[in-house]
Amino acid sequence: MSAKPASSAASPSAPVKLTPMMQQYVDVKRGLPRDTLLLFRLGDFFEMFNDDAVTASKLIGLTLTKRQETPMCGVPAHAADNYVGKLLALGKKVAICDQAEPAKAGKLVRRQLTRILTPGTTLETAQIDAARNHYLCAITHDKHGLHAAWLDLTTGEFKVATDTRPENLLPILTALDPAEIVTPENALPAWQNAAHDHANPAHAALAALAGFCATRLVTELAPYQFELNSAPAAIATALGVLNLQGFGLENNHPALGPAAALVYYATENLCAKPENLRSLQEYRPAKTLLLDPATLRNLEIFNSTRGTRDGSLHHAINRCATPAGARLLERWLAAPALDLAEIHRRQTITGELLAMPGSLSALRAHLQNIRDIPRIIGRLQNRLRNPRELGGVRDTLAQLPKIHDALAQFAPGTTTRIQKEKIDLLPELHALLARALADELPNDINEGNHIRAGHDPELDRLRALTTGNKTWLSDLERAEQERTGIRSLKVKYTGNFGYYIEVTKANLHLVPADYIRRQTTVGGERYVTEALKQKEKEIFHAEENALARELVLFNELVTAVLDESIALVRTADTLAELDVLCGWAQLAREWDYVCPTIDETDVLEITEGRHPVVEQMLKNPSAGSPQTFVPNDTQLSSSDAQIALITGPNMAGKSTYIRQVALITLMAQVGCWVPAKACRIGLVDRIFSRVGASDDLARGNSTFMVEMNETANILNNATDRSLIILDEIGRGTSTYDGLSIAWAVVEHLHRDETRGPRTLFATHYQELTQLEKHLPRMRNLSVAVKEWNDEIVFVRRVVPGAADRSYGIQVARLAGLPLTVIDRAKTILEKLESEDTDIELTAPTPKARPKKKITVKPEDDAQMSLL
């Protein structure tokens, strides 16, 4: 999508002479970025006209009407957020033009553009997932590498990163899963074209970059918005500082260009400078464990293969009580730590919480009542204000003394007790909000009644006037009913006509002479009296003054909250961390997790490890009869048992086993306890996975090409500190091609004389098991099965040694293939295994290829030979 101003799209298909209101609309529409839908406030509705109306009616099912041949549709103002959320979810951008003054009879209401909502810049609660981070990302690429910046406007998180190798930076960008990407004009088409140019040394990186952008909304900005020369000053202004040196960033940092583009784009869409930006941090890939996009997908870290949180690792280890805690867990999983001290700190707090079950339960109960302070502060700072947001601050502050008391139960000097000192109680602010805010708060500030009675004498006086006048109206209705004899007479109010007396047609002959007719309706007439008109002025004046006074008091409360914004956000960050760690302690208690030993060694030892997601699913009552997960051991070492080759039948658990090792490793390095009896892991710098079958036909990649691309990425980037899991390498092509590739991959991973990446390699190629004799750091493992009357029983145990066969026909029977197919397959298998190629065919098919033996010549240094 493009941010160029609209031209012809702004011209409505309306009469040449526009009404003043439509001229307002056209003037606002003309200045908007292309393809932006404009919601234009008219009374109680937001209306859309012309092409915008046609588009919106199709996308979200609005009723399309016409006025003087101009297509139009609208949504109620009070429900606009929900409709806008639907449009944003479809990748649309929506501009809001609201009334800038109260409506007055006979005068054109002044309207102005208040903000442009895009998938990456919206702040409204109804349009974002409270439990997920919401990033806007800017990217550039040049001969020096990939440069990126990302910003969560809802919380103010702002980071930059650069790397000469895009493959080091793309993993974190993929994990962040930005809602919108900003690039220079024509950059994405250039990346897409270069991705197909195999003569270009950067084609692989650009292909990955183009693929990353392909499934997300991309907005193009003018290239000058990314210029590095002006970027430091623009960013410093947005952050309210003189320069960026305090953040450890030099003015020539290449990612400042994208960061400046984000500041510009956010300012344009908010129609004001973002007020919740306070710092800019640099992300360094070398300081975190990297998980490439394929691994994030294959291991289902954030989403299951169904595209939902349910069934993902995040869902399995998330016991957070607050949205801020769930978002912090997401950030920890996106960038697992390589800092041993930080990992040990998280482990220690989890253990201390686990050892104090009473305090743990109390903390979790109090955290349930903590509101989303970072996002509340972000909205308040960016002019999105409603009474319930302040109520959220009040309710959170009310919980802090209880959390203090719970933390005080831990021994002085413990890591958990230290968290208490990071929580600022802010008693004066809490007392002010508790005294000033009503118990029940409206969502709309213009509804009034959000300030508690007794807080402000002037407001109490104005409210008393309003209450007295409304009592007068009730008395008037009864008096007029008695005077006229019209028992159905009513005193009513509408926004267009004010207060009036309604008389039905059947009683019009009883109307007194002093009634002044105002309007004829289908059912009768509406009247006023001089006394009623005078009282209406008094009521309006009192209500208007009372609401104005409430707005003054409300803004004073907002100012008081924002004056403490730094302390509030710092406290909220501590509470989010405490929430994650309390959740992990509860998780460890529920599922018998153990604290892993994380160190600088090259070992990976897991005793009775279990798959954290599958184990929970097996015991979930909704999944049927609860089952027990069968644990397994793992022993790997970069310098000893480097490669474990795992054979065995399909459905026996090979894939589950290798995935559980990767997930346990990842959990350990984010500081979480793990599903095992014992665990020791030497720090891992990257986790790679090549699992399953998928294609990318849109970019011309077959299933096998995707497999080879992912394998190439692993072999080119793995180090001896990496963990690799490979599942069925080479299965996407012919048997002998695939076997040859798999064989060569194993040899490549073992090529260094002394050490290599820790690797789990699941395969059906039985021939590969011969390599154990010639590769000293390779070990054969197999998944055991039991046979009975040509049937197999999966016991889910991984044992030393190679499997003798794959049991494919038995698995096919379990899958329900017709018995005729099963019997025929057995006959063919017997012929092939006896190397008898004279197979009687039941139908004309190509001649079966004979099976050949593969041996390894010792003198050939373990190179494969097909004989």
Binding site listing: 648-655
- Tell me the C-alpha distance between 724 and 78, whole Å: 53
Q: At what angle do helices 735-749 and 703-717 cross, to 10 degrees?
A: 10
Q: Which tokens hold the place of 365?
A: 């109960």
Structural contact between residues 396 and 373, judged by C-beta atoms closer than 8 angstroms: yes
Strand partners, 138: 149, 182
419-422, long-range: CB within 8 Å, 24+ apart, which pairs? 419/349, 419/574, 419/577, 419/578, 422/570, 422/571, 422/574
Sheet holding 93-99, edge to edge: 65-67, 70-76, 45-49, 36-42, 93-99, 111-117
Give the strand order in the sheet containing 597-599.
597-599, 678-682, 603-609, 632-637
Task: Look up residue 8 and give its DSSP letter.
Answer: G
Structure tokens at 221: 């900005």
Cα 609 to Cα 593, 653, 678, distances in angstroms:
10, 13, 8
Q: Using alpha carbons only, how large is the chain's radius of gyration in Å?
A: 34
For residues 490 and 502, the answer to whether their CB atoms sit within 8 Å is yes
Closest to 336 (Cα-Cα) out of 362, 311, 301, 306: 301
Backbone angles phi, psi at 452, to 5 degrees: -70, 140
- Residues 409 and 404: their CA atoms lie apart, in Å, by 9
| Residue 807: φ, ψ to 5° | 60, 35
What is the distance between the alpha carbons of residues 136 and 269, in angstroms, rounded to a whole number?
A: 12
Return the C-alpha torsion angle 669, 672, 678, 680, nearest 10.
10
Q: What is the dihedral of CA 750, 752, 753, 757, to 10 degrees?
A: -60
Q: How far apart are CA 298 and CA 727, in angstroms?
A: 11
Quote the CA–CA distance of 724 and 719 in Å, as a whole number.
10
Rounded Cα distance, 66 and 699, in Å: 43
DSSP 337: B
> Distance (Å, rounded) from C-alpha 452 to C-alpha 461?
13
Q: Which of 41, 46, 49, 40 is nearest to 14 (CA)?
A: 49
Q: How far is CA 698 from CA 215, 408, 706, in A?
A: 11, 58, 12
The structure tokens 């006229």 sit at 484
Structure-block tokens of residue 541: 């004046």
Smallest Cα–Cα separation from 176: which of 310, 322, 291, 342?
291
The β-bridge partners of 42 are: 45
The binding site for ATP consists of 648-655
The tokens of 769 are what? Answer: 């098991």
Chain CA centroid to CA 774, Å: 47
> What's at 60, amino acid-wise?
I
Cβ count near 89 (within 10 Å): 13
φ/ψ (deg, to 5) at 157: -65, 130
E strands, 264-319, are: 281-282, 290-291
- Assigned token pair, 580: 């994650």
- Amino acid at site 55: T
